[in-house]
Structure 1
Amino acid sequence: MSVSRQNKNCVKDVNPQSENWILIARVIRLWFVSDFKKTKFPFSMEMVIQDKDGDRIHVSVRRTLIYKFQNDIFEDKVYSFNFFSVSTNSGSYRTTCHQYKINFQFGTKVTSIDVIGILTGVGTQRELNRSGSTTKLNAISIEADGMIESMDSPTQGLSQLCDSGKQNVEDEFITFIHRNTIQGPKDCKEESTFVILATIKHIVADDDWWYTACLCGKVVYPDSKMFFCEKYNKHVIKVQQRYKLKLRVIDETDSTTFVLFDRDATTLINKSCAELFESHDKLIRMQKCTIATSTQHYNTL
């Protein structure tokens, strides 16, 4: 599919003043955000796209539009995007440094681009060291629908499109998110959000590590042989155990205690709180059975 060069725009120029943008970019990340209230369908589909200049922008597809695009867009593929809206890239966690983000609409058009064109430049051979192995490569410049235009540095455009698209997720997080130290929150005088890289020393064991919650996720209290949920302002019968782990963490500036709640704790332990309780109960039953069997054997002697 060919898109005329004079009609395409650059990611860095995208802003809310227009909805007539035409972008040609590679999808370097694509994921679905889960809806914890409705597990059957995801809450949204999210992407990060990158153009030939290496500029990136976040793309969001709301729940009701996922079905229109999820079977036509894939990671590491190049597409043209047009007829979308643009809004401010706000929030505590941002995947790109771009001031704005793209929101798909019902009429958004996404067209696959085959990046095959004319060889217009050959770079110098270099070696790439990854995971202890060395790979020799030679970068080339290909002219294809304007995807790579710079002849001053033939390797730049190609490397932006082909090499950088598969960057490690942890590397991207560290690259784009401003990190703070443990001392940072202690010096803060107002409510704020911090991203801290620290080492977990141990789990604080001398405290409650779980709590009983309503299915809505809020804590409940025993009352009248049932449980009372303040959110719903009524008694409930169905409850669940949820994590509330206290972690002792340390970095080069200080140490402190962080509280890890159910979703993040489940990811860390790779087991839900209910599953951990079930495993613990099975272990206790096995120990009791072993003790009872040993007692009977002793009495028969």
Structure 2
Amino acid sequence: MSKVCKKFDVVAEIMPNKGSVRIKVRVLRLWKVPAFLNPSEISSIEMILIDEKGAKIHASIRKQLLYMFESKIQEGEVYQMSCFAVIPQVGYYRATLHPYKLLFQIKTQVQPFKGSDICKYGLSLTSLADVCSHNHDYKFLVGDGKLTKMVVVELTDASGKCECALFGDYVEELNKKMGKADEGLPVVVIKFAKIKIFRDQASIQNVINTTRIFINPDIPEAVEFKNRAKPAMDEEFLRMHPKKKVSELTDLEEDGIFAIYGVLSGIVQGEDWWYPACKCHRAVIPDSGAYYCNGCSKHVFQIVPRFKVKVEISDGGSTCVFVIFDSDMSYIMEKSCAHFVGKSKVSNGGSCPAEFDAQVGSKMLFIVDNGPRQSKIVDGTFRVKRVCMDSQIIQKFIADGPFVTPVKAMSQAIEVESDNDIDDVDVVADYQPLSFMKDVIVTPPVVAKTPYKEDVVVTAVKRNLSEVFDGATKVQGKKSMRRVKIEKE
């Protein structure tokens, strides 16, 4: 009669005083750490292990034991392992939340295990709002004086936005994967990244040899996220909302979201055409030499100018005033708000840039929300949720006639831009001059699928990354925004 095998330990319950540890785990991530003084040599092998309950723990194989285990363990495979040293996980180099880590020994046993249902990806999803809530810094483990590529991308989910800085080989990896991605905005999954506080805002950074990046992965979480993303432009304007005329808006008592065709007949002069905003997109007000954000409930010292332009829209018989916010106005003008604010060198308010007048006479489609909160603002204007200038979609919209029955029910979509959630904040009359413009953060444009170019910053990486970010920001700030034309998402 065969021996009855001891049951496997639960990873979450591993402690130094529990005796011999025996676990069944999948190698979720495996990476080799180069020696500090000789990068061609391997100093250790690091792993993230996950069990059937989803608990994760860090495991290390030191240099002296590489010959025993390096060829036996592969990333993604399942093993039963036993006989480790269990030590506290301390310091900055922490890859899991487990308070302890496993250290391989000479007597450690490793055997492949078939037929396990342990999760392949082991995702523990965190919202960007949770990332941005961090207020303390972490060390980034890089070598001083080394040259490396760097790119900063912006990530968005339903909770907000967050910048992500990628260094070294991760820049090339992102370029290749984005080049193979489908049209539309990609779904990005990042595992084993670090949180860095920069300019009082939390951002995400890769960890060399550790972080993993997935573009449009075929996993339930990513598929669900993509299905809730902003719909394709032709679908939203032609098939998702009832049509209304401009003349019907003023006396419209029906709540809902409507598609409207009109001609931009003029720019409302003498009104504020931009507002200072926090990186969460909410308006800020000057206070005590800084700016206060009600959304973040704190003072911020770096702000972003964002469009809030009032325009007159006519359908030939009636005229209404629409308010167009940042993402849509940037789409119309093909440039960011920061470009025009920096060029005008004036305070918030006064005459709109002359370039706006070039759009007078343009035919456009608008999505207007006539709900209790988003409908007519107190001054009688209407808040725009999305704009379309695609001539083919406009022609199809007109050809379909004045009435349409939506063929697809709308679920709650993930807004790529959260302009419509911004609280209106009155700007005080003695608004400060634009001395902050030299430090303004300009959000890079989101572009549909195009061949990737080497649009990166090559610079010296230092343990304090503020100077690196400053350099990247200045380079990006000089670029004009290209038209964001997303035909299919």
User: TM-score interval w.r.t. the shorter chain?
Assistant: 0.3 to 0.5
The structure showing larger relative contact order (alpha-carbon pairs under 8 Å, at least 6 residues apart) is 2
Q: More strand per residue: 1 or 2?
A: 1
TM-score (norm 2): 0.28
